[in-house]
């Protein structure tokens, strides 16, 4: 039930997938909202919320990578050597890599501003970069470019999932119900 098998996603992988899907789509929307605003005392809490949820996303992706070492995900349905299956696997790897780089770049950029990065108004993260305008600009440029790349890859990922569901293969179903 909890573990993945050769054919199915267990409960832990499914809960991680859908929690992260919701979290990442919210973070993308929240990120675009704050990037469009003038920073002010009124909007500070939105930055705090974005940083807090972004850090939760980093923890979840690391947990998910560890979990997939313990309980490897199922083989893709159909021929694993066929192009769509290989593209889907490539996309998953790119998504995992981006989900580590994006929050780390956010953390570096936030450290470089010299302001404390406080999660959920309680936990202060240690700074991981010197206070420097050059670091800040570079890190947020990386954050911006990688988030837009993620939006593109996720667009293909979601379109691919629905295309396979319409074709009648069980890929989406097994990520929802596990079988």
Q: Which residues bind ligand HEM (CB under 6 A)?
A: 17, 20-21, 24-25, 27-28, 31-32, 34-35, 47, 50-51, 54-55, 57, 68, 73, 76, 88, 92, 95-96, 99, 102-103, 106-107, 110, 117, 140, 143-144, 147, 154, 157-158, 161, 171-172, 175
CB of 91 to ligand HEM, least distance (A): 8
In DSSP terms, 118 is beta-bridged to 124
Closest to ligand HEM by CB, 1 vs 77, is: 77
Closest to ligand HEM by CB, 12 vs 50, is: 50
Closest to ligand HEM by CB, 1 vs 166, is: 166
Closest to ligand HEM by CB, 12 vs 143, is: 143
Inter-residue contact 35 to 44 (CB < 8 Å): no
Inter-residue contact 82 to 123 (CB < 8 Å): no
CB of 133 to ligand HEM, least distance (A): 13
- The residue number with the shortest CB distance to ligand HEM is 31
CB of 83 to ligand HEM, least distance (A): 14
CB of 103 to ligand HEM, least distance (A): 4
């Amino acid at each position: 039930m909890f573990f993945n098998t050769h054919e199915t996603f267990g409960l832990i992988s499914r809960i991680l997938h859908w929690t992260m899907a919701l979290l990442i789509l919210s973070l993308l929307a929240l990120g675009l909202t704050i990037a469009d605003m003038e920073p002010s005392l009124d909007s500070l809490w939105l930055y705090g919320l974005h940083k807090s949820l972004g850090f939760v996303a980093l923890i979840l992706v690391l947990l998910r990578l560890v979990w997939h070492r313990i309980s490897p995900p199922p083989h893709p349905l159909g021929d694993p050597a066929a192009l769509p299956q290989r593209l889907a696997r490539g996309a998953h790897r790119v998504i995992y890599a981006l989900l580590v780089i994006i929050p780390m770049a956010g953390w570096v950029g936030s450290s470089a501003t010299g302001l404390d990065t406080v999660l959920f108004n309680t936990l202060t993260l240690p700074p991981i970069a010197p206070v420097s305008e050059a670091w800040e600009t570079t890190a947020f440029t990386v954050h911006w470019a990688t988030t837009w790349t993620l939006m593109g890859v996720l667009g293909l990922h979601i379109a691919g999932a629905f295309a396979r569901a319409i074709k009648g293969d069980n890929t989406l179903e097994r990520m929802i119900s596990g079988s």
